[in-house]
């Protein structure tokens, strides 16, 4: 009976009813997510309250790993309409987690361009660099981090170190490993691990060194496998022979 009455209502009245239900549920301590579900069925009206509630519900969905649910909420928020960079950033993150890096990159770039606040720009730059790297655009990802680094004043070392750590980890996907290790070693020499950002960077430098060592060991194993014991013996001889032995 209820479904039949609902189906007979004009679409505008149904949308208005969902909007009123959302307002009622939003006042309940645990009703925010249920309110957001009703807002999905309301009509766009340029209402900032609707955008805020949908965005908040999407952030909660992302926190619990429900990227598809977050996408629906954020796409509806955009139709309100909204050009809030916080919504764009969350949308880009949801799209990346949902496996759509191209759209994620586009929305994160848009969010970065629309965000003036430095700390928020750095956070968006990290997410954009992550999306670019996972889509195979490593050089572009590192360029984003370099630009973010250039905007941080020397008087704020914690912010700089966190971005340096992101840069070092990002270079793990690139062929220029030697340059990364040099950069990491130079920075690590001056750090004691006394702050969160210092510990992050020291950990990133250690990870990069371990990855490099692992790659070298793997190449040696492949060489030995290809050339057999005799080849390994010859390689050992070449490594231990004196410069005048030839």
- pLDDT tens-digit series, residues 123-170: 999 999 999 988 989 889 889 999 999 999 989 989 988 888 887 776
Burial 122-149 (b: 16+ CB within 10 A, else e): bbbbbbbbbbbbbbebbeebbebbeebb
Nearest to 22 by CA among 9, 34, 6: 34
- What does the alpha-carbon distance between residue 84 and residue 107 come to, in Å, rounded to a whole number? 11
SS3 call for 98: coil
Nearest to 146 by CA among 163, 123, 162: 163
Distances (CA, A) of 127 to 54, 103, 118, 191: 21, 13, 14, 26
Confidence band, pLDDT 50/70/90 cuts, at residue 179: low
What mean pLDDT is predicted for residues 50-56?
98
| pTM of the shown model | 0.74
Other CB atoms within 10 Å distance of the CB of residue 204? 25
Nearest to 223 by CA among 213, 212, 209, 234: 234
Confidence band, pLDDT 50/70/90 cuts, at residue 200: confident
Q: Which pLDDT score, from 0 to 100, does residue 97 have?
A: 95
What mean pLDDT is predicted for residues 224-234?
56
| Token code pair at residue 72 | 């629906």
Q: Which of 31-45, 175-189, 213-227 has the highest average model confidence (pLDDT)?
A: 31-45
Least confident of 23-32, 36-45, 82-91, 228-237: 228-237
Is residue 239 predicted with pLDDT exceeding 50? no
| E strands in 45-136 | none
> Mean pLDDT in the chain?
83
Q: How far is CA 2 from the centre of its chain?
A: 44
Q: Which pLDDT score, from 0 to 100, does residue 185 have?
A: 75
Other CB atoms within 10 Å distance of the CB of residue 43? 15
């Amino acid at each position: 009976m209820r479904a039949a009455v609902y189906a007979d209502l004009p679409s505008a009245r149904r949308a208005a009813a969902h909007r009123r239900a959302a307002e009622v549920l939003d006042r309940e301590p645990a009703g925010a997510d249920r309110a957001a579900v009703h807002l999905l069925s309301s009509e766009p009206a340029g209402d900032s309250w609707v955008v805020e509630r949908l965005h908040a519900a999407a952030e909660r969905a992302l926190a619990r790993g429900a990227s598809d649910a977050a996408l629906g909420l954020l796409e509806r928020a955009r139709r309100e309409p909204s050009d809030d960079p916080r919504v764009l950033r969350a949308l880009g993150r949801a799209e990346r987690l949902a496996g759509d890096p191209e759209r994620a990159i586009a929305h994160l770039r848009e969010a970065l361009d629309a965000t003036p606040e430095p700390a928020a720009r750095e956070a968006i730059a990290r997410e954009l660099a992550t999306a670019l790297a996972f889509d195979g655009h490593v050089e572009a990802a590192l360029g984003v981090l370099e630009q973010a680094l250039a905007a941080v004043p020397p008087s704020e070392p914690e912010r700089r170190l966190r971005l340096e750590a992101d840069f070092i980890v990002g270079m793990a996907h690139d062929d220029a490993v030697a340059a990364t290790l040099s950069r990491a070693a130079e920075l690590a020499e001056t750090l004691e691990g006394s702050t969160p950002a210092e510990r992050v960077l020291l950990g990133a430098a250690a990870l990069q060194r371990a990855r490099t060592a692992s790659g070298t060991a793997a190449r040696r194993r492949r060489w030995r496998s290809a050339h057999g014991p005799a080849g390994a013996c010859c390689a050992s001889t070449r490594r231990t022979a004196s410069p005048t032995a030839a």
